[in-house]
Amino acid sequence: MAHLAAIASSAGAVLGSFLNVCIHRLPSGQSIVWPPSSCTSCGTRLKAGDLVPVLSYLVLRGRCRYCGVHISIQYPIVELATGILYAAIACVHGPSLAALHCIVLGSLLIVAAGTDINTGLIPDRVTLPGIVIGFILSFFSPEVTPAQSAMGILICGGLLYLLAVASRGGMGGGDIKLMAMMGAFLGWAQGLLALFIGALLGSVVGIAGIATGRLKRGQPMPFGPYLAAGGMVSILAGRFLLSLLGF
């Protein structure tokens, strides 16, 4: 299992570099395939040695090799987080279809969280294909049936839609579609668990922010990262937590 986790972690760090490209390019409608990676400041095309996950950032001390501009800390964080998530999925699910299912969802959640943090928006190019992919994968999933996936889309997306209406703009359409996507992958029960955990995390952070003066009452706060965190908890421990609740 340790070897599997190490392989998954390495693969996750490499794919995390691609997820960074998605986070940077998707909100502006750019292609995630072409052109190759380049410095966002000077435009110089990056070489293989500049793209080693995490290590390149450390060796270059967080600066572009060519123009010296600071590189966002987002890049190594996403690479490291993706590696850790993939390793955790490998440990929990082993070499299985369920693990692949979770890796796809986890990757989409990382991109959704990153774009929401950077721009305050979750692109439809992440969530709408994600809903379709989640439903299609349910036909091959050992844990979520197509019926559960369809119910997850309707119940999780519908509930967040009602909450968005009740909050009068406190939640955006991206959050609704993100929740529907999680329902497609996880089914309605684990999807609602993810929503509960995300809401709890968001509330704790919001209250702490107000208490410390970092946030003002009524100040908008991206909800996508907390929903994504709830989804990741559900990926790794959803069935266990639901069993404790009697589901």
Verify that 196 and 145 share a domain, yes or no.
yes
**pLDDT value at position 221?**
82
**pLDDT value at position 190?**
96
- Domain region containing 54: 1-95
**pLDDT value at position 169?**
65
Torsion of CA 116, 119, 125, 129, to 10 degrees: 0
Q: How many domains does the chain have?
A: 2
Verify that 40 and 112 share a domain, yes or no.
no
Alpha-carbon distance of 104 to 69, in angstroms, equals 33
Q: Looking at this protein, which amino acid is placed at residue 174?
A: G
**pLDDT value at position 156?**
96
Verify that 91 and 174 share a domain, yes or no.
no
**pLDDT value at position 214?**
81
Q: Which of 78, 95, 112 is the last residue of a domain?
A: 95
pTM (2 d.p.):
0.92
**pLDDT value at position 113?**
96
Give the SS3 label for residue 193: helix
**pLDDT value at position 170?**
67
Verify that 126 and 74 share a domain, yes or no.
no
**pLDDT value at position 51?**
77
**pLDDT value at position 76?**
92
Verify that 90 and 140 share a domain, yes or no.
no
**pLDDT value at position 42?**
76
Verify that 132 and 171 share a domain, yes or no.
yes
Question: For the chain, which residues score pLDDT lower than 50?
Answer: none
**pLDDT value at position 106?**
97
**pLDDT value at position 16?**
92
Verify that 10 and 111 share a domain, yes or no.
no
**pLDDT value at position 171?**
75
Verify that 36 and 53 share a domain, yes or no.
yes
Q: Which of 30, 64, 95 is the last residue of a domain?
A: 95
Verify that 126 and 194 share a domain, yes or no.
yes
Kindly report, residue by residue over 158-168, the tens digit of the pLDDT: 999 998 888 77
Q: Which of 46, 65, 95 is the last residue of a domain?
A: 95
Cα–chain-centroid distance for residue 29?
A: 19
